[in-house]
Amino acid sequence: MGVLRGAGRVFDLSLGQLLWSRRTIFMGLVLTVPVIIAVVERLLLISGISALRVNDVRVSGPTIFGLIIWLVLRVVVPILGVFYGTGLIADEVDDKTITYLFTRPVRRGAVLLGKYLAYLVCTVMVVLPAVVIVYFLVIPFRDIPGTFRSLAIDVGLLALGLAAYGAVFALVGAMLRKPAVVGLVFAFGWEQAAMLMPGYLSRVTIAYYLQALVPHAIPSQEGVSALLQALIGTVPEPGTCLAALIFATVVALVLGCRVIERREYVLEQ
């Protein structure tokens, strides 16, 4: 059976499993936060209460939406990447069910590919509709013509972020026995630290390329972090960012497939 056909079979099997798993309930809960913020903002607006203010500066709908996108991109997307991506293969190993997949007449690489595609569809189909709902709750209708372009970019960017983080963590999951810890350290330790370090270290993160594409102003930072950002912050070109993210996704997937093809998984008895 060809790789793509095999991946399709695995995708079909895995999509339902992923979609109705506890992880998706967790994802739903995480995404409830921005939706609740948007609903509260809309209710305040409807009830005629004065607009949300920070330091006496009125926070407009597009600004709130921009902040929510930053929250989703910097927190939610990496979390989803870690929890889903690292579990694609590691969960099968932990549950000792990987044998059943490996004994099917599909290439091992197709198993990872199919599961990765299922992860992508599952997360994209939960995250993106939530973002669209938040957009229509937060942005006044008259502002839609002026802000729709940024929504279109946001939607594409979130899908790209989920793809890139998922691929990287799928590789980590295929390589390591306990990948979740490594994934969390990478997403919330290494990436955060590298973004603040001088030199080229930030270029070895996914966040560096994703953040450069965000069409909303970065939330203001204070203190040392703001100073460091001002001193060392560089913004790559959009084309470079897109190429880097696609490159990272493809390379991580190819490496993941190679690892799973060659590695011997020993199941604990």
Partner 1 sequence: MTKRTRVFLGVACGILVVGLGTGLVTAYVGGFQNLVILGGDGPDELAYIPQDARMVAYANIREIMSSQLRQKLRDLQTTSPDGSQRRFQDETGIDVENDIDYVVASSAGPDGDAQGERPLMLARGRFDTARIENLIQERGGVVEEYAGKRLLTQTDKQFTVAFVESDLVAVGSPEAIHRAIDTKTGSANVRGNAEVMRLVRDVDTGTAWAVARFDAIGPRWSGALPSQLPPINWVALTSHIDGGVRGTMHAETRDEASAQNLQDVVRGMMALARLQVAQHAELAAFVDSLELSGHDKTVTLGFSVPAEVVDSLFLKRAARPAPAPAPGEHQEQAPPSTPAL
CB of 232 to partner 1, least distance (A): 23
Residue 50 CA to residue 54 CA, distance in Å, equals: 12
- Shorter beta-carbon distance to partner 1: residue 40 or 132: 132
Bridge partner list, 58 = 53
Contacts with partner 1 by CB under 8 A lie at 12, 15-16, 19-20, 50, 53, 56-58, 121, 125-126, 128-129, 132-133, 135-136, 141, 144-146, 148-149, 151-152, 155
CB burial string 251-260: b at 16+ within 10 A, e below: ebbebbbebb
CB of 62 to partner 1, least distance (A): 10
**Residues 6+ away with beta carbon under 8 Å from 64:** 37, 38, 41, 52, 138
CB 79, CB 180: distance < 8 Å: no
Helix axes of 22-46 and 61-71: crossing angle, nearest 10 degrees: 170
Bridge partner list, 53 = 58
CB of 186 to partner 1, least distance (A): 28
- Shorter beta-carbon distance to partner 1: residue 154 or 191: 154
- Shorter beta-carbon distance to partner 1: residue 49 or 266: 49
CB of 38 to partner 1, least distance (A): 13
**Residues 6+ away with beta carbon under 8 Å from 41:** 52, 61, 64, 137, 138
CB of 246 to partner 1, least distance (A): 22
- Shorter beta-carbon distance to partner 1: residue 128 or 175: 128
CB 162, CB 120: distance < 8 Å: yes
Residue 120 CA to residue 167 CA, distance in Å, equals: 9
- Shorter beta-carbon distance to partner 1: residue 56 or 268: 56
- Shorter beta-carbon distance to partner 1: residue 139 or 171: 139
47 CB burial (10 A radius; 0-12, 13-18, 19+): exposed
CB of 17 to partner 1, least distance (A): 10
